[in-house]
Each structure stands twice: as structure tokens, then as C-alpha cells.
A and B are shown apart, each in its own frame.
Chain A
């Protein structure tokens, strides 16, 4: 577009449908503004004082007309609403197989961790054509993760995970910005997103891992180390024990709580269960687990969660487990499988 850029690049699968909706809304805006402005100017000139025009039969009110211009904008608005709601739902529903990348926002940088341990600051490298899901949390104030060329944005909040997904559709380097005001260097909190061919990305991962020597542990491995360090397995054994429930296949499972209700084990629940375990006790257990708040960092929490995700796939209800022998072929939960779920090393 030369010196007068009018449109951000389209670099994700959202950008196309987004821009169509944007364009349609723009056409609507221009048509309505044009129409009413033209009428106003026309009336102002035609019916100007002193112009000899027919002024007979002017109405004060006209119900059909009122209803027309009440209902017509309402219908148009609702059309836009349903269209936008459909697109929004799509933009908010990450595919199951999306690659998970962890993001920590802090004043004033983005700290990013890839599943296999590669970390980067203010840069995000992603492979082309692969859905990517970001799991994000803030360490201090509100931030907002914004990539204009992908048409995605999500606030990043302290004390709570938020997610964002996209599928890059074009190789190149794009803006990574913080869109929620976060203090002095808010406008400098950002960098770039680099979309790479799949092979390039693998190469990048490999070399990046080698360069950052102390960070070459994968998320899961790092998490496993923490798991060992705090002797989590002492209580959370392969099967439910008296001291603590098994964590195998925890993610996605519905956990019955002591209070009688239940919760689906997602990122936020597991984080809460680690940091303040006694807030929502699992059914059948007493408050015996110490709190890890202040003892492990947000980063370590994320690693721990990555590890817990590897502890076996979702099992049948644990109460059934002792009675029935494990189905053939499934991993034996007593030996935590640390095989990375995503990319190989």
C-alpha cells in the first residue's frame, strides 16, 4: 500500500473472514452515513428559508416510517451480531490438537516458553499452518497479547489463565504488542512474531535449545524435576491413595469435590490446586496438602502443569481402576510416562 497503509497484513486464518466482516460493516457505515448526510444536505438546500418549494403536507409524525427505521437498523444490527458471534465462537474455540505455548506477561516484556523448553523474550516463533494455543498469565498487572496481523488479542491477567489460539497462514515477521495499558514502558512491551516453515521451525527449535544451555529442559522435564524436588509423588501416587488422589489423566477429567459439587480439571483449577490446595478439596480428602503459594513461580507452575499433563491419558473413573484390570495397551499409570505429547526433542 506504499506510504498510506490502509490494511494490516493477513497472516493468520482468522484474518480473511475477519476482514470480510470488517468490510461489510464498513460498507454499511458508509452507506448509512452517506444516505443520511445526503438527505440532510439536500433538505438544507432545498428547504432553505425563502426557497419557493412546496411545503404543504409535512407530517409531525408517521408511525409506519418510525417503525421502518426502528426495525430495519435492528435487523441489520442483528445480522452483523450473529455473523460476528459465529466468527467469535470460532476464534475462541481452539482445536484439540493445537500446539500449546506458554506466555507470561510482566512489566514490560513477554516471556514465552515452548513445550520443549525453548524460551524467548518478546519474540514468538511459530510454525506455519499449525494451530497454536497460547496459555497466558500475568505476573503483575493487566497486559493484553496482541498480534494485529493475526487479528487476535486477549487480555493477560494476574492470578488467572487466559487462552488465545490462531493458525499462522503466511511466513513472515509480524508485530507482537501489549494492548492493555501496563505502566511506564507499555508502548515498548513487545517485539515480533516470526512465522516459519515447519522444517525451519524445527531447525530453529533445535538450535535455540542448544544456545540456551541452561534452558534445554523441556517444559515437561523441568516440571518433572520440580515434581521430584517437592516430592509430589509422595502423596499423589499412580493410584488414588489415602493421602492424595492420583494425578494420572487429571486434565479434562471431572473432579468431584468435598463440598458436593464438581469441577472440570483445567489449567486454572490445577494451578489453584497447587497454589492453594485447600480451597477446593477433592471429595474424600482432608486438607493436608501444604500451600505452594510464594514457593514456586508462575513459570514453575506452568512447567509443573506441563508435567502433570504427561501423567497418563484420561483413565476410566479411578474408582473403577482397582476392580478392573487396566485395559490392554494403555500405559501403566504406575510408571509415569514422560514422553512429550507434542513435538519430539
Chain B
């Protein structure tokens, strides 16, 4: 926000405080409120899809149950573990940032990137297996299980839409993490304070929580 610092002679001497704020305390409070407000919009984003999922599972429960058997629970489980671990690393990263331990912060951030990347790779294998088995909605869709093919196609549409949107969030996370790690590495003044990393941590935990819901809804359906 350096554009207007010229007009802002009385601004605090703390380098990381933007010109519109009084002090770092106000800035940090504002980051927190802003981030939570943003997460509310994210909940509404995913909410639509969860709503559609509930509706169709209620309508087509049997076929959904049949279709869910096709998903690879083992890979799903591994991915859940990977993502949960990354959340732990993220929390450790935030702690290191609070303690102003730059090296450890960098280390944990990179660990998170590695986990996120692993998640995406596993996801890639899962997706390509589905595509190879004609379990991707569209003209090539084939359904050999019991029940209506159309309903199975809707199951897979929801599967791809929801895990896809989640995957996009992981990707955005990886990019943002990359930038943050770089900023930490070059001692950028914006990350003097731990708050940016903490804010990213909130986002990352949110992405993790979404997966915590997605995994049982798609992979671990109870019969009935």
C-alpha cells in the first residue's frame, strides 16, 4: 500500500502498518475481521453444493450408495491424512511466525506446500482413473452398476464439482503459500508481523475442514 505514503506523513513508524490504519493493533484486528468475513463467503460458496448434494442424495440415495462404491476409499483416506498433517504443519508455522523464528516458519510453510502438492498428485491419480473408467459425466459416461445411469451421472457431477472446487482452493493455497514463503525468505516487511501467516492459516484450516466434510459424504456413505 505504498502508493499513498506521501500523503501520510503522520503514519505510524512501524513499517508494516498501512496508511489507513492507526497502529498495528487496529490493522491486525481488521485483518481478522476481514478474514472471517471472507470465510463466511466461502461457506456460502460451498454451501450451495452441499445443499445440492443433500437434495440429490435424499432423492437418489440408493444409486448414490452404489456409485460411491466406485470411489477409492484408500486414496481418499490417504488424502485426508495428508491434508490433516498439512494443517498441523500450518499451525506450527503460525506458531513459529509468532515467535519470530524465521527459519522454522519457512520450514513449516514449505512442509505445507509439500503436503498440498501431494494431495493434488493423489487427486490427479484418482481423477484420471475415473476418466479412464468412463466415470466422468458427459457424452462418454458409462454406468454398469445397478440403478439409473442418469442418477449416477449426477453423483459424479457433484463429486467432480465439489472436489474440483475444493481442489481449486488447494491450488490457490499452494500459490499463496509460495508467495508467503518467498516473502519470509527475503524478509519482506509485510511479513514482519505474524498476522499475514496467521490469516493464511485460517484459510488453510478452512480448506481442510471442507475436505473433512467431503471425505465422509462421498467416500464413506452408510447404506440406507
Contact = CB atoms under 8 A, between A and B. Distances in A.
A–B touching in complex (CB under 8 Å):
yes
Interface of A: 259, 276, 278-279, 287, 291, 293
Contacts of A291: 148
Given A276-B150, A279-B148, A291-B148, 9 more contacts: A259-B62, A276-B148, A278-B146, A278-B147, A278-B148, A279-B147, A279-B151, A287-B146, A287-B147
Nearest to B224: A259
A291 to B, nearest CB: 8
Interface of B: 60, 62-63, 146-148, 150-151
A293 B151 CA distance: 13
Nearest to A260: B224
A291 B63 CA distance: 15
Nearest to B148: A276
Contacts of B63: 279
Nearest to B150: A276
Contacts of A287: 146-147
A278 B151 CA distance: 11
Contacts of A276: 148, 150
16 contacts: A259-B62, A276-B148, A276-B150, A278-B146, A278-B147, A278-B148, A279-B60, A279-B62, A279-B63, A279-B147, A279-B148, A279-B151, A287-B146, A287-B147, A291-B148, A293-B150
A34 to B, nearest CB: 42
A291 B147 CA distance: 10
B224 to A, nearest CB: 8
A161 to B, nearest CB: 16
A259 B63 CA distance: 12
A276 B143 CA distance: 14
Contacts of B151: 279
Contacts of A279: 60, 62-63, 147-148, 151
Contacts of A293: 150
A14 to B, nearest CB: 33
B97 to A, nearest CB: 50
Nearest to A279: B148
A293 B60 CA distance: 17
CB-CB nearest 3 A-B residue pairs: A276-B148, A279-B148, A278-B147
Nearest to A277: B148
A1 to B, nearest CB: 47
A345 B176 CA distance: 75
A279 B63 CA distance: 8
A279 B152 CA distance: 11
A332 B35 CA distance: 73
B43 to A, nearest CB: 30
Contacts of A278: 146-148
A279 B65 CA distance: 12
